[in-house]
Every structure is written in C-alpha cells, then in structure tokens.
Amino acid sequence: MKTDPSETSGIPTAEQVRLDTARDAFVSQWGTIGSAWGINRTMAQIHALLLIRPEPLTTDQVMGELRISRGNAHTNLRELAGWGLVRGVIRKGERKEYFEAEKDVWKMFCIIIRERKRREIRPAINVLKDCIERADGLKSPEALAFTRQARALSEFMEMADGVLSKVVRSERNSIIPWALRFLK
C-alpha cells in the first residue's frame, strides 16, 4: 500500500518514516476533531485517511491502516458516502470496491455544512418553534421570559441557517471563497 520504493527492500527510508508519522498524527487529530463535532472517531479517522491518500483504498486497506474490524470499516464508509464526503470507485477488471474522499476543501466544507444544517440546525429550529407554540398565550412572567428567549434563539438560528445556506450555494461560484481571503 505504501508507495515508497524502499518498501521492496522492507526498510523504510527516513523520509517515509517522517511521512508516516505525519500522516498518523493527522488521522489521529482528525478523529479527535470529529469526536468534538459529534462524529464518531473512527468515521473521522477513515475520512482523514482517504483525504490524505492520493489513491483510492479498499475496505481491507482501510481496515489494515486503522486496525479496525470489517463491520466498523464498512459501516463508517457507508455513512461517509451518505454524507457525500466519500465515494465508491470501481476499477475495471476488479471486484473490490475502492473509496476516495472529496479532495476539494471548499466542496468538503460545503458538504459538511449542508449535512449539519439538515441533521442539527433545522431540527433545532423546529423544536424551538414547537416550544414557542406551546407557550404562546401564556401570561405569567416566567412564561413570557421563556417565550422571549425561545424567540430570540429561533431568530438567531434562522439567521444562521440563512447565512449557511448562502455559503453552501456559493460552492458553485468563487465569490465567497475569494471574499473570505480578504478576512485573513
């Protein structure tokens, strides 16, 4: 699986060792970040592995690299494909399915935003609206304070949802990525 020519002799070069160490650190850190974002660690590590590899990998290769079970690899690869972050690749004459990650960072960012909106932000907005409806018409100071705060949160979430929608739509043009460079 490694592309270094020294692999034929079985002795990795110093450069290959440094690259492998950097890759391992990246995969590990991406797993930690994924956990903080509510994605399971293994799913994030598989994504990281496919993201940094120049060639598509099979399920067996993912299992070997990350030392995970077939079921774990298969489930997480399917989930990543469901998000649109990973796609299956068929190689002519081979029965195995290969997987590759979306490499375009802006597209990847927009995919993640789109999924987070669908899975988290829209449901949260719906819950807030339901809570507001349930408390609507109540007159106690406590109920009024609750309704006021829930409305403020709902309005903020709606605004954030709108901004994120514009960012996701910008995936098809270069204006927002270009404009964001000026914020550096």
Find tokens 């690899």 and name the residue: 73
pLDDT for position 48: 96
pLDDT for position 38: 73
5-101 maps to CATH 3.40.190.10: no
| Angle in degrees, 0-180, between the axes of helices 41-52 and 70-83, rounded to the nearest 10 | 70
CB 129 within 8 A of CB 154: yes
pLDDT tens, residue by residue, 47-99: 999 999 999 999 999 999 999 999 999 999 999 999 999 999 998 898 899 99
pLDDT for position 58: 97
pLDDT tens, residue by residue, 147-162: 999 999 999 999 999 9
What letter does residue 121 receive in the DSSP assignment? Answer: I
Domain boundaries, the chain: 5-101, 105-183
Dihedral, 58, 15, 17, 35 alpha carbons, nearest 10 = -60
The token pair that represents 113 in the structure block: 């935003």
CB 111 within 8 A of CB 102: yes
- Tell me how far the alpha carbon of residue 13 is from its chain's centroid: 33
Of 110-124, 132-146, 164-178, the one with minimum mean pLDDT is: 164-178
pLDDT for position 179: 64
pLDDT for position 76: 97
pLDDT tens, residue by residue, 119-129: 899 999 999 99
pLDDT for position 11: 87
What letter does residue 174 receive in the DSSP assignment? Answer: S
